[in-house]
Chains A and B, each alone.
Chain A
Amino acid sequence: DAKTTQPTSMDCAEGRAANLPCNHSTISGNEYVYWYRQIHSQGPQYIIHGLKNNETNEMASLIITEDRKSSTLILPHATLRDTAVYYCIVRGAGGTSYGKLTFGQGTILTVHP
């Protein structure tokens, strides 16, 4: 699985959009980009994932660059409850990737009132 690079921490004002970047310059063509978040040592929560196209769901949007070397998770209207550690994960489609997510250090997002 390709390695990801994320900023250690970010701040965002409540009600504003939070844009969390992720670099995955060594990503392969069949590898997916997944985003999870973890609040206060609870289990990680799935947010969104994508392969090539931009994706949107009720929680967030995922923008993947055309060369797939980076992506941005967008929380359109951040709330205090969005304060968490956000993990960007690149996941392969076979072989040693079965059942395995490789977590990095993630980005600590703090949403301020």
Chain B
Amino acid sequence: KAGVTQTPRYLIKTRGQQVTLSCSPISGHRSVSWYQQTPGQGLQFLFEYFSETQRNKGNFPGRFSGRQFSNSRSEMNVSTLELGDSALYLCASSFALVTDTQYFGPGTRLTVL
């Protein structure tokens, strides 16, 4: 079974731009979670989607948003990019329940100049 895939793997943007990252979950998985990883803050939860609905949200500003499609694929968007948004963005998928194991993708490395 194929793992979680994320595109693109690397991205360079400038301040003020917006960016959209994509995540395809493991086949059959219906929940997709997003995380941000920076050297200073470590791995932090952004939000989780299940059946096209946001089910949980971390403590991030409204510039960070996401959505999930009917095929469980998910996108996250960051508007008005700031230098501090430079990070590794990770997507994880799980089957459905709150305690289902999450499997992570390789991440998208975003650099904001």
Contacts and interface: CB of A to CB of B under 8 A. Distances in A.
Contact of B103 (A32, A42, A46, A87): A46
A44 B105 CA distance: 8
A46 B32 CA distance: 15
Interface string B82-103: 0000001010101000110111
A43 B90 contact: yes
Contacts of A101: 33, 35, 43, 45, 92, 102
A45 B43 contact: no
Interface of A is mostly: loop
Given A99-B48, A101-B45, A92 B98 contact: yes
Interface string B21-52: 00000000001110101000011110111100
Interface residues of A, number: 25
A27 to B, nearest CB: 14
A49 B98 CA distance: 14
Q: Interface residue tally of chain B, by bracket?
A: 20 to 34
A44 B92 CA distance: 9
A100 B58 contact: yes
Given A91-B99, A98-B98, A99-B31, A43 B50 contact: no
A98 B88 contact: no
Contacts of B43: 44, 87, 101, 103
Q: Sort A-B residue pairs by CB-CB distance and give the 6 closest, nearest first.
A: A99-B48, A43-B104, A103-B43, A99-B33, A98-B56, A100-B45
24 contacts: A34-B101, A41-B107, A41-B109, A42-B107, A43-B4, A43-B90, A43-B104, A43-B107, A44-B43, A44-B90, A44-B92, A46-B101, A46-B102, A87-B43, A93-B99, A97-B99, A98-B50, A98-B98, A99-B33, A99-B47, A99-B50, A101-B45, A101-B92, A104-B42
